[in-house]
């Protein structure tokens, strides 16, 4: 029965991740995907191993193909390139789809790792019931399989799912090293996975303190001379890092300036790219994608995780699991004899994991950019705690059910439905056309040929090119909504708005972020308020003309649940099935 449930969980994970990978119908509506696809298409496979490792000549090196600004690792892109060439899909549309397939695949493999890692961790609980030991790994795998943010990320050809899989893999093999006699072999695998994580994105460095901390516990809690243990630990850390460096030189040699193994100087273009990205992640910098973060409260990341990333019920169950583990640590501590080193090690292991997960989440919440994207590698750990929480609740229900079986089964299956509900609702966006595609089809059918349409800078203009366009062509220009609110901007805004026939907001990138900083955009904030509220008098006062909303396209799940737009970040409101608003100029 256990194997059957596990199979069903894996099938469910596959369904959620591989469902409609071509969700935007080849329109490339994710900006990071567009960039990676352009870089990947420009890459050329080397003729030899020597060419591959030659940073100055290799055409797999972004610096050599016109992309000096590149902040990601190249491994996911190179892997996609080789597979696309082998499959004969090295073209603009198919390259992205191959990348999305690989992204979905590695995230599915993360489900398997979550199951196996939970088995290793849950086995350390003393006096744990057979129910808990058998059910918790299944619940954890299920919890990750239905976590919404990983499901969404699996549909994107970005480096994030690769990063997550390899980071968690490095942690898993560290666990295997301490649970298994083949310590050296698993340490080797951990270093391999960590290097692949680094080769995917440099932020993999965040998992290193956890991995080395676990390794530290192994040696410190051993018997014998303390100095000898520290020396052994230091030697193993040096070997671990040398292996990581060796693998990194193989899987992403383009992080480095030259071929020499003994010269670790980083690629100057990559270093400058990281510095530039860091400089853009500051509130004082005038960078449109950063506007949404300027007045974001400290709990913004927590709110996004609670409402969307996990879903409110799933988040609460995860907290139940976390609290239960903390309470269990206290109970275990009182029962473990000072000579029981395995028990002591297990307590410190759990404390270390909790400290790392909570500490990193708090750290990321304190940053200017509080993006859920930078927490994807916490989701496997959320799933472990979520599995514990679900199994604890199920056990309580089992105890209650001995007195009232009807109540037990009703509540238990209601719990399963609730856990499954938000992921299923969210995934309805993949059962239906993308809102921008749907809006584009409506535009071609209903608007007059030659109509003058306005879009916005830093957003995808509408209509998107479609084969079935009824022979219609439109004049499209973009409003400089993110420019500073000066005289030149408003002169151009007034001219374009008075000249155009329609004004289309293809997402809330502008109206969802600009009004949150009225001190920076006083006029633009007022105009958005007047536009969204249908206040013609105020619109005319600001730009001399009035636009009225004639059509709205929303994600399908908005029929059942809709949060205020300022509560959720652009990851869920701009790239993936955004709300599209179409306005027509009032001719009265």
Q: Which residue has the higher pLDDT, 12 or 328?
A: 12
Tell me what the pLDDT averaged over the chain comes to: 90
What's the N-to-C CA distance of the chain in angstroms? 69
Contact 96, 78 (CB under 8 A): no
What CA–CA distance (Å, rounded) separates 21 from 465? 20
Side-chain half-sphere exposure of 587, counting CA atoms within 13 A: 4
Question: Region 500-511: what's the mean pLDDT?
Answer: 96
Per-residue pLDDT tens for 83-140? Answer: 999 999 999 999 999 999 999 999 999 999 999 999 998 875 555 555 566 788 999 9
- Beta-strand pair 547-553/580-585: antiparallel
Distances (CA, A) of 160 to 56, 66, 282, 378, 411: 27, 23, 22, 12, 36
Question: Region 421-428: what's the mean pLDDT?
Answer: 92
pLDDT the model gives residue 420: 86
Residue with tokens 């290793």: 120
pLDDT the model gives residue 131: 53
Alpha helix stretches (DSSP H) within 88-182:
92-122, 130-145, 148-154, 160-179
Residue 216 has pLDDT above 80, yes or no: yes
- Beta-strand pair 475-479/452-456: parallel
Question: Region 465-494: what's the mean pLDDT?
Answer: 93
pLDDT the model gives residue 339: 54
pLDDT the model gives residue 130: 56
Percent of the chain at pLDDT > 90 equals: 71
Tokens of 142: 């299920």
Query: Which residue, among 540, 480, 547, has the nearest Cα to 514 in the 3D structure?
Result: 480
Confidence band of 337 (pLDDT split at 50, 70, 90): low
Query: Which residue, among 482, 423, 472, has the nearest Cα to 448 in the 3D structure?
Result: 472
pLDDT the model gives residue 68: 94
Residue 412 has pLDDT above 70, yes or no: no
Contact 229, 31 (CB under 8 A): no
Confidence band of 293 (pLDDT split at 50, 70, 90): very high
pLDDT the model gives residue 89: 96
Confidence band of 252 (pLDDT split at 50, 70, 90): very high
pTM recorded for the entire structure: 0.94
Side-chain half-sphere exposure of 454, counting CA atoms within 13 A: 20
pLDDT the model gives residue 414: 75
Q: Which residue has the higher pLDDT, 441 or 415?
A: 441
Tokens of 46: 């080397």
Residue 280 has pLDDT above 90, yes or no: no
pLDDT the model gives residue 402: 64
Contact 491, 441 (CB under 8 A): no
CB within 8 Å of 566: residues ≥ 6 apart: 512, 516
Confidence band of 195 (pLDDT split at 50, 70, 90): very high
What CA–CA distance (Å, rounded) separates 164 from 150? 9
Residue with tokens 């193989």: 250
Question: Region 418-443: what's the mean pLDDT?
Answer: 93
pLDDT the model gives residue 536: 95
Residue 436 has pLDDT above 90, yes or no: yes
pLDDT the model gives residue 307: 92
pLDDT the model gives residue 124: 59
Confidence band of 401 (pLDDT split at 50, 70, 90): low
Per-residue pLDDT tens for 506-560? Answer: 999 999 999 999 999 999 999 999 999 999 999 999 999 999 999 999 999 998 8
Contact 107, 165 (CB under 8 A): yes
Phi and psi based region of residue 223 (left: phi greater than 0; alpha: psi -120 to 50; beta: remaining): beta
Contact 37, 96 (CB under 8 A): yes
Least confident of 57-66, 119-128, 300-309, 350-359: 119-128
Least confident of 24-38, 138-152, 240-254, 549-563: 549-563
Contact 316, 382 (CB under 8 A): no
pLDDT the model gives residue 585: 95
């Amino acid at each position: 029965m256990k194997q059957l449930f596990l199979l069903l969980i894996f099938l469910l994970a596959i369904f959620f991740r591989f469902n409609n990978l071509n969700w935007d119908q080849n329109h490339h509506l994710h900006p990071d995907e567009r960039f990676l696809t352009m870089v990947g298409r420009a890459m050329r496979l080397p003729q030899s191993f020597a060419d591959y490792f030659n940073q100055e000549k290799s055409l797999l090196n972004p610096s050599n193909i016109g992309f000096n600004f590149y902040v990601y690792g190249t491994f996911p892109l190179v892997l996609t390139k080789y597979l696309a060439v082998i499959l004969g899909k090295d073209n603009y549309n198919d390259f992205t789809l191959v990348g999305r397939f690989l992204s979905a695949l590695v995230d599915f493999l993360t489900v398997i790792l979550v199951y196996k890692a939970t088995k290793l961790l849950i086995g350390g609980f003393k006096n744990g019931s057979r129910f808990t030991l058998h059910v918790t790994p299944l619940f954890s795998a299920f919890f990750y399989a239905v976590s919404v943010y990983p499901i969404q990320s699996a549909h994107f050809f970005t480096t994030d799912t690769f990063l997550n899989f390899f980071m968690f893999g490095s942690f898993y093999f560290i666990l295997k090293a301490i649970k298994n006699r083949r310590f050296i072999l698993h340490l080797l695998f951990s270093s391999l996975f960590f290097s692949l994580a680094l080769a995917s994105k440099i932020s993999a460095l965040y998992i290193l303190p956890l991995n080395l901390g676990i390794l530290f516990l192994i040696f410190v809690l051993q018997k014998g001379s303390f100095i000898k243990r520290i020396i052994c630990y230091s030697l193993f850390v040096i070997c671990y890092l040398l292996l990581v460096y060796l693998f990194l030189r193989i899987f992403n040699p383009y992080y480095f300036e030259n071929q020499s193994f003994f010269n670790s100087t980083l690629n100057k273009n990559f270093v400058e790219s990281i510095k530039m990205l860091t400089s853009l992640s500051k509130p004082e910098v005038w960078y449109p994608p950063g506007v949404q973060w300027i007045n974001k409260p400290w709990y913004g990341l927590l709110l996004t995780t609670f409402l969307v990333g996990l879903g409110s019920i799933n988040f609460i169950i995860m907290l139940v699991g976390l609290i239960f583990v903390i309470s269990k640590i206290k109970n275990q501590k009182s029962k473990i004899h000072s000579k029981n080193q395995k028990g002591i090690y297990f307590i410190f292991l759990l404390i270390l994991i909790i400290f790392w997960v909570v500490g990193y989440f708090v750290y990321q919440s304190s940053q200017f950019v509080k993006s859920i994207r930078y927490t994807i590698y916490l989701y496997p750990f959320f799933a472990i705690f979520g599995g514990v929480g679900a199994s604890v609740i199920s056990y309580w229900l089992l105890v209650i059910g001995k007195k009232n079986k009807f109540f037990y089964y009703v509540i238990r299956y209601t719990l399963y439905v609730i856990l499954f509900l938000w992921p299923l609702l969210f995934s309805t966006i993949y059962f239906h056309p993308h809102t921008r595609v749907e809006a584009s089809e409506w535009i071609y059918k209903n608007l007059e040929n030659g109509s003058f349409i306005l879009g916005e800078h830093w957003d995808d203009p509408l209509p998107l090119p479609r084969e079935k366009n009824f022979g219609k062509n439109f004049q499209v220009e973009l409003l400089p909504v993110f420019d500073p609110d000066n005289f030149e901007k408003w002169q151009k805004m007034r001219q374009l708005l008075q000249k155009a026939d329609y004004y289309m907001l293809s997402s809330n990138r502008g109206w969802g972020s600009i009004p949150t900083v009225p001190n920076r955009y006083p006029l633009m904030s007022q105009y958005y308020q007047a536009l969204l509220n249908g206040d013609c008098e105020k619109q005319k006062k600001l730009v001399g003309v009035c636009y009225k909303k004639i059509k709205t396209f929303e994600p399908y799940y908005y029929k059942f649940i809709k949060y205020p737009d300022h509560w959720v970040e652009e990851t869920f409101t701009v790239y993936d099935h955004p709300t599209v608003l179409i306005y027509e100029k009032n001719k009265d």
